[in-house]
Amino acid sequence: MPGISSTEITRIFSAQKEFQKQLRLTDYKVRKEKLKKLMNSVYTRSRDIEEALFKDFRKSSSEARLIEIYNLIKEIKHTIKHLKEWMKPEEVYPPITFLGSSNKILFEPKGVVLIISPWNYPFLLALNPLVSAIAAGNCAVLKPSGKTPHTSALIKDIISNLFEEKEVAVFEGGGKIAGMLLEHKFDHIFFTGGIEVGRSVMKSASENVTSITLELGGKSPAIIDRGADLHDAAQNIVWGKFLNSGQTCVAPDYILVHDDNEEELLKHLKNSVEKFYGTDISAGNSPDLCEIIDIKHAKRIKTLVKDAVKAGAEIKIGNENNHKGNFISPIVLRNILPGMQLMQEEIFGPVLPLVTYKTEEDIYDVITRNPNPLAMYVFSKSKKFINRMVSTIPAGGVTANGIAVHFANPNLPFGGINNSGTGKYHGYYGFKEFSNQKAYMKLPKWNILKLLYPPYTKNVKRIIDLAVKYF
């Protein structure tokens, strides 16, 4: 909503605060009906969604349907199926000192929530958290990315036809609009994006003492064991890395491969790139590769490659000059040094550094330079090797012998750790993220607490001593 005023934001925010008093009392039937309407609208407008994504950065219709539409539909269906169960109070056992009491965890909506979504999957990552917010009974303000104006406008059109603004409102625009929204005291903020902006959002949240979910990113490694199936690993990595032209928060940022396997892996990577995208990869001949979101990001990626080559890196797949406008062809590099800039920051593009190791200690040394990745991938035939990697390297999530598919399971929590984010969502975990888990205890008329009231006589002290020692 370009040109929106702070007064207009405050008006809608106040309306949502008032409406939340009514909305928080809705049962699962009402919430499920809203989710069904949203799902049906996604089905109905699927062609519009594909067209908007193509206009924004030439995303192929197949990729749009597979990633943006399918994952959202699956999330909605999963939530509809399980919402009644999730909303039930969770019974918990009391300590023996409160035997006879009733103890529950009640799930109540946090209130009015703000969702700030990114440009890389602009439809999915805007509406996926909204599904959880609706399921939990919240009002929501959604700020989709200003870098994908066609998709953002479509989101606003879909939402405004399904919800009154006092329940769900959409504000289009860039960082200025986000800044105006962050001045308001929301009950929860859900942000997906880069770490630098994430820090700013977290600072704003802290000033209002607002709970926050940060879905960030980082340098997610793909670790290939010495005895792994290199053909299978290469196909998985090429698909997961060059999906969305590398603009995926859970894309493998670099490969760690044993010295002995480097040459063979390169052959399999090259074969996979050619099989998936053809031998002549260019803007005109690669319909399954989208563009980089804008010229600024394209220049940044090209600079990372050029600087690495100057510092001694060797391009083994692709061509640093094979680009047109915002399109960059897939590139794989070897001879990577730790000090290169592409090993200092998340690449977020179709550039894949290949780093070799000799020992497992080498693996740990490389990963700890950029700790706590959002995702980690391990390719191995050895359960022991996989377990060692999983148990010793902190990461937001892990897929063994695959890429990114843990994101697609609504029964798994998705999110980062420390620098790669805070909080989890998807399925039940998203419902919990947007809910206040309220503790509730109901005491019977007679309870042991009455024996512990002052004055603290010898008998009372004896009961306290017994409780401390035995209960």
382 & 432 share domain? no
Residue 50 belongs to a domain: yes
340 & 356 share domain? yes
pLDDT tens for each residue of 318-363: 877 766 778 899 999 999 999 999 999 999 999 999 999 999 999 9
202 & 153 share domain? yes
Tell me what the mean pLDDT of segment 188-208 comes to. Answer: 93
- Which secondary-structure segment (H or E) carries 417? none
pLDDT of 451 strictly over 90 = no
Domain that holds residue 96: 6-216+421-438
* Cα gap 105→413, rounded to integer Å: 20
Residue 427 belongs to a domain: yes
Residues counted in the chain: 471
CATH number at residue 158: 3.40.605.10
139 is annotated as an active-site residue: no
Tell me what the mean pLDDT of segment 46-71 comes to. Answer: 96
Q: What is the domain count for the chain? A: 2
pLDDT of 406 strictly over 70 = yes
pLDDT tens for each residue of 102-145: 999 999 999 999 999 999 999 999 999 999 999 999 999 999 99
Residue 350 belongs to a domain: yes
239 & 194 share domain? no
* Residue 128 and residue 101 in contact, taking contact as beta carbons nearer than 8 Å: no
DSSP-derived 3-state class of residue 9: helix
Residue 298 belongs to a domain: yes
Q: What pLDDT, on a 0 to 100 scale, did the predictor assign at position 322?
A: 63
265 & 393 share domain? yes
pLDDT of 237 strictly over 60 = yes
Q: What pLDDT, on a 0 to 100 scale, did the predictor assign at position 283?
A: 56
78 & 203 share domain? yes
DSSP symbols for 100-154: T-EEEEEEEE-SEEEEE--SSSTTHHHHHHHHHHHHTT-EEEEE--TT-HHHHHH
> What b/e sequence results for 90-121 when a residue is b if at least 16 CB atoms lie within 10 Å of its CB, and e otherwise?
eeeeeeeebeebebeeebebbbbbbbbbbbbb
**Strand 331-334's sheet: what is its strand order?**
314-317, 331-334, 351-357, 254-258, 221-224, 375-379, 397-400
Q: What pLDDT, on a 0 to 100 scale, did the predictor assign at position 470?
A: 81
Q: What pLDDT, on a 0 to 100 scale, did the predictor assign at position 1?
A: 42
Which residue among the candidates 215, 291, 346, 433 is catalytic per the annotation?
A: 215
For residue 278, is it left (φ>0), alpha (ψ between -120 and 50) or beta? Answer: left
pLDDT of 63 strictly over 70 = yes
pLDDT band at 282 (very low <50, low <70, confident <90, very high): low
* Residue 236 and residue 388 in contact, taking contact as beta carbons nearer than 8 Å: no
337 & 310 share domain? yes
Residue 16 belongs to a domain: yes
pLDDT band at 458 (very low <50, low <70, confident <90, very high): very high
pLDDT tens for each residue of 247-259: 999 999 999 999 9
208 & 259 share domain? no
Residue 456 belongs to a domain: no
Residue 208 belongs to a domain: yes
Residue 113 belongs to a domain: yes
407 & 277 share domain? yes
Residue with tokens 């942000």: 191
**Listed residue (137, 238, 157, 247) closest to 193, CA to CA:** 247
135 & 158 share domain? yes
CATH number at residue 408: 3.40.309.10
Structural tokens at position 70: 């399918």
234 & 210 share domain? no
pLDDT tens for each residue of 74-109: 999 999 999 999 999 999 999 888 888 999 999 999
pLDDT of 412 strictly over 50 = yes
410 & 427 share domain? no
* Cα gap 345→333, rounded to integer Å: 16
Global pTM reads 0.94
Which residue among the candidates 68, 75, 172, 249 is catalytic per the annotation?
A: 249
